[in-house]
Amino acid sequence: MQLAYSSGVEDLQAVVVRARRGDRKAFAELYRRFHRAVHGVVLARVAFGDAADLVQDVFAAALERLPQLGEAAAFPGWLMTIARNRAIDHLRGKKPTDELTDIPVAAPRSAEVAQVLAALRALPEAYQETMILRLVEGMTGPEIAEQTGLSPGSVRVNLHRGMKLLREHLGINEEASDVG
Partner 1 sequence: MSDDYLFDRSGPPDPDVERLEKLLAPLAHDAPLDELRMRRRRRLSWFVLGIAVAAAAAVAIYIALPTSHANTCTGTGFEFSAIGGDVTCGGAHVAKGVLPVGGQLDTGAHEASLKIADIGTAKLGTNTRVRLDRTDPKRHQLTLDRGHLHARVVAVPRLFAVATKHTNIVDLGCEYTVDVDASGVGRICVQSGRVELATKSGAVVVAPLGTCAAILAGQRPGLPLGDGANTAMQNAVRAYDRGEVGALDTLLAAAETRDAITLIALAAIDANPTRVLARLMELSPPPDAEITVDTALSDPEKLAAWRTDIIEIWAGLYRPGAKRP
Distance CA 100, CA 78 (A): 32
Is position 60 an interface residue for partner 1 (rule: CB under 8 A)? Answer: yes
Using the contact rule CB under 8 A, the part of the chain among 3-11, 13-21, 25-33, 68-76 near partner 1 is 25-33
Q: Answer yes or no whether residue 39 interacts with partner 1 by CB under 8 A.
A: yes
* CB closer to partner 1, 38 vs 82: 38
Q: Helix axis angle, 2-20 relative to 141-148, nearest 10°?
A: 40
C-alpha count within 13 angstroms, C-beta hemisphere, residue 13? 11
Between 18 and 35, name the residue whose CB sits nearer to partner 1: 35
Site for partner 1, residues 62 to 101, rule: CB under 8 A: 63-64, 88, 91-93
Shortest distance (Å) from residue 71 CB to partner 1: 17
- The Cα 91–Cα 93 span in angstroms is 6
**Residues contacting 7, CB < 8 A, separation 6+:** none
Helix-helix angle 2-20:24-43, to 10 degrees: 110
Nearer to partner 1, 12 or 43 (CB): 43
* Cβ atoms of residues 118 and 128 within 8 Å: no
3-state secondary structure of 110: helix
Q: For partner 1, which stretch binds (CB under 8 A), given 8-16, 68-76, 102-110? A: 102-110
From candidates 2, 4, 70, 178, binder to partner 1 by CB under 8 A: 178
d(CA 82, CA 164): 29
Query: Mask: binding to partner 1, 125-164, rule CB under 8 A, as x and -?
Result: xxx--x---xxxxx-xxx-------xx--xxxxxxxx-xx
Phi/psi at 155 (nearest 5 deg)? -65, -45
- CA–CA distance, 120 with 148 (Å, rounded to integer): 18
Q: Which residues bind partner 1 (CB under 8 A)?
A: 27-28, 31-32, 35-36, 38-40, 43, 48, 51-52, 55-56, 59-61, 63-64, 88, 91-93, 103-105, 109, 112-113, 116-117, 124-127, 130, 134-138, 140-142, 150-151, 154-161, 163-168, 172, 174, 177-178, 180
